[in-house]
């Protein structure tokens, strides 16, 4: 009866479809992001989207246009930075600069402060059916790209020196993966916002790694967790009138805590 009542509302049906699409993409891409130890890069890409969205609104464009453009360009830049030590320093600088630019754009056009809040914290209940089609398109591109580079990406992630010796171009693989991460981040930001994107990109993947040993099963579990916490967040938001993003992040944290306990008992 509860599910029937929730699905009586058009905006809730749209939200369930949107979170399913984003959860699938975030779970799959997030698994490789955690596996490669590049969660900081994913976090930074989300923050880069903030000035992109606010800047787009400032000149009369859709926020998702600015989000996509800035995040993809940043993803390419991160992939081209070389070794991880150099990337971390540059990413930290870009992250702070991005937030500063976002605040500057808001200063010039404070009438759109409400939209900025949605960018920062997400507003899945406000997603339109047209946006769902955009998310579906981005999701298909992201998953197709991940499927194409999955084998060299996994090889480069687990044994980078051997992969390079076997002819895998690490720079190209990293850059392509960062573009995929950028697209996935744009999707996740539609659900949980810039500041909480870790909830869908990292928590499910990190939880899956605690309870699985194979890459295939790990990706599958990460997807199930991402979609599960997103749908549960929608239901709890409907029942409590609390923000959906809060429930998604809280459930993501609880899942990781539970997975950690399971892993410890298994190795005890």
Tokens representing 132? 């769902």
Distance CA 114, CA 102 (A): 14
pLDDT of residue 85: 56
How many CB atoms are closer than 10 A to CB 224? 15
- How confident is residue 141, by pLDDT bands cut at 50, 70 and 90? very high
Taking only the tens place, the pLDDT of each residue in 99-121 is: 777 777 777 766 555 666 666 66
Closest to 184 in 3D by CA, of 53, 13, 15, 21 = 21
Predicted pLDDT of residue 53: 78
- pTM of the complete model: 0.86
Query: Over the stretch 76-100, which tens digit does the pLDDT of each residue have?
Result: 877 776 555 566 676 777 777 777 7
* pLDDT for 206: 94
- Percent of the chain whose predicted confidence (pLDDT) is above 90: 33
- Dihedral sign from CA coordinates of 135, 140, 145, 147: positive
Mean pLDDT (whole number) for 176-186: 88
Rounded average pLDDT over 153-162: 87
Confidence class for position 224, pLDDT limits 50, 70, 90: very high
195 DSSP assignment? T
Dihedral in degrees, nearest 10, Cα atoms 212, 145, 170, 75: -100
CA angle (136, 139, 142) in 5-degree steps? 155
Asked if residues 173 and 153 have their Cβ atoms less than 8 Å apart, the reply is yes
Give the model's pLDDT for residue 117. 64
pLDDT for 3: 66
d(CA 125, CA 129): 11
Average pLDDT over residues 179-200: 80
pLDDT tens digits for range 213-222: 899 999 999 9
Residue 118 pLDDT: 65
Token representation of residue 145: 């790209």
Decide if pLDDT at 127 tops 60.
yes
The alpha-helical segments, DSSP class H, found in the chain are 2-6, 10-35, 39-58, 63-79, 84-108, 113-121, 129-158, 160-165, 170-192, 198-201, 203-211, 215-240, 244-267
The structure tokens 């929608």 sit at 234
As a whole number, mean pLDDT of residues 140-159 equals 91
Fold of the CATH domain 2-267: ABC transporter involved in vitamin B12 uptake, BtuC (1.10.3470)
Nearest C-alpha neighbor of 227 from the set 254, 248, 253: 248
Where does the pLDDT of residue 226 fall: very low under 50, low under 70, confident under 90, or very high at 90 and above?
very high
Give 5-18 pLDDT, tens digit per residue.
Answer: 888 888 899 999 99
Asked if 182 and 165 count as a contact pair (C-beta separation under 8 A), the reply is no
Residue ranges per structural domain of the chain: 2-267
């Amino acid at each position: 009866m509860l599910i029937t009542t929730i699905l009586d509302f058009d905006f809730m049906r749209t939200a369930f479809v949107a979170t399913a699409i984003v959860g699938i993409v975030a779970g799959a891409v997030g698994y490789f992001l955690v596996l490669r130890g590049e969660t900081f890069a994913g976090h930074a890409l989300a923050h880069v989207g903030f000035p992109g969205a606010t800047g787009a609104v400032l000149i009369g464009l859709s926020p998702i246009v600015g989000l996509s453009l800035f995040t993809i360009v940043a993803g390419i830049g991160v992939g081209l930075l070389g070794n991880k030590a150099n990337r971390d320093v540059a990413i930290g600088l870009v992250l702070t600069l991005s937030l500063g630019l976002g605040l500057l754009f808001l200063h010039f056009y404070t009438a759109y402060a409400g939209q900025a809040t949605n960018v920062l914290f997400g507003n899945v209940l406000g997603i339109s059916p047209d946006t769902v089609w955009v998310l579906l398109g981005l999701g298909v591109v992201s998953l197709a790209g991940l499927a194409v580079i999955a084998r060299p990406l996994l090889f480069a992630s687990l044994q980078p020196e051997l992969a390079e010796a076997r002819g895998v171009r690490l720079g190209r693989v990293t850059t392509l993966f960062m573009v995929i991460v950028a697209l996935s981040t744009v999707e996740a930001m539609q659900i949980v916002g810039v500041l909480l994107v870790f909830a869908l990109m990292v928590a499910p993947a990190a939880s899956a790694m605690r309870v699985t040993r194979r890459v295939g099963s790990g990706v599958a579990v990460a997807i199930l967790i991402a979609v599960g916490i997103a749908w549960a967040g929608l239901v709890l938001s409907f029942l409590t009138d609390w923000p959906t993003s809060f429930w998604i992040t809280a459930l993501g944290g609880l899942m990781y805590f539970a997975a950690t306990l399971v892993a410890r008992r298994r190795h005890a």
